[in-house]
Structure 1
């Protein structure tokens, strides 16, 4: 028999007063009085311990909202998008539904066995984070690998704005070459403006500074007054944002049907880029989309305020004599590249004052030429001048390329 029943029976049936029962059993007289009141109202069964859980909980999430949270988790996961509690909360708010606390959403997902508990992570205070203050202050770039349905390896080149995480460009190549980097970059600045700086790893398509020379991309951004930054070798954390972005991209691609060719893969990348920029809330941006964050702030420009050049790009192949032909302002000009580069596929970058010829495969600068409308032959400024044996110094310049 429980202690509560003994106290009540002693007071009711044995005639003990409430004060006496309290002294005998070492409880307060108020508690004895409460037990007697319960007994008179409901008998001995009313003396059993009552559950402390409240009958109603005003903070309990409604069943309809719980189902919506579980539905969002399932739908986003199947589509290959992030589906954590913070992302689900952002989607609820976008739909006009007041979102519960992040911890509540996490508890609902745990109860539904849709996520598992994770060990405690490092506190954010232990991480040193860097973020550009303005859009176009810093663009990160890198490429990653993906395979077509037949197993063909494809390289995907990306440009990411450091401040807003806007995916500026996302293109598929087989493989990424120096020419592809230049083409992608010039197309991107034509749409989004010129960045103040770029950040890449030390891949040869981005830099050849280790060998003491400049490739075509380095020469292009230097001419535009853009600061070039490169991470330390074997230290991908420097480009952490784009490395993390590649995980998001590959998770989404893995949820799609495998592309049969380069065109089909590019179509998938275009769809991904639109959704990523305009619809996917980004946790690091306070659940805003990258496009919203990019449009919210004035854009940075290169610190070097030199005149911006209008670049033209053309692909060609060095002829068997080591030369190229270039038409400018209705007149044909001939460019000396070097007989040792005969047959090399090249990219020709032309502005108002300079012509730069780079190897399409490696990005190496093969020749630079000064634009001179009065002369037919433009020699390679990177090579020592010379002439064919027997030519006199006072012969006209047209004889230079005979």
Structure 2
């Protein structure tokens, strides 16, 4: 089919070719007459001499030989090098004597185009999952965080001033070298797998009694927002392996699941929440005291749950996946 801007239709090509072949016109004169280039006039004239009138119609633009898919054996070699050495398409292509675009196409076909799709420890493709409804699974974890001395630590001032502030802070502790420390706080976090709705508290330790009491308050938080928790996933921390933790969940009709040892990726949603918590709250600005930082946590949690866009939720906040969430429109 002739495109809209073609200067010659099949009929015009036939007329041009007959002027040259049958009537003896020079190519240049025929090209000027039909307002085309000399090379175009020659192409249609040669085709008329070789094929006659049927040669004036459009041909398929498909090449005579179409390249096939990369052989299976080559694809396996590409994937093997990718998983074993973590190389990019260019280095793999150099090793296997291929074209980088071919290697990239194979990696894309098998979902290995980015190294972030592979587990760092095993180099296996990352298997991502998400529960279908809120409450089917809640991730729980504890993050240890150093306290800020009154007046600010070394992140705000220099190290000498930070040392003086630690010494003057009430409740400081001394280590075996005589240095003063203001201790640690423990962030107990619970994140719903489906909605990413989060509940967090700053507590003084990570003992089994503290963890069990935290979960009771977290369960009330989720229940208040219309979420019935069915399963809880934790790591293999001592508090989560205790009889008290097991009895607390069992009494509420909740199933407890633990991750495989040395496999924090299974609990990845709360691990990622920990990182977000540190980046956007704990170290977001230079706080002058631990009290000042702790006062900001409730406000930040509200922003995270109700207003902050989440990349895993297509830019929507966790509240968008929890119907009738309290405070969603404030």
Please report the TM-score for the alignment, with normalisation by the length of structure 2: 0.49
Structure with more helix by fraction: 2
Structure 1 or 2, whichever has the larger Rg, is 1
Please report the TM-score for the alignment, with normalisation by the length of structure 1: 0.41
Structure with more strand by fraction: 1
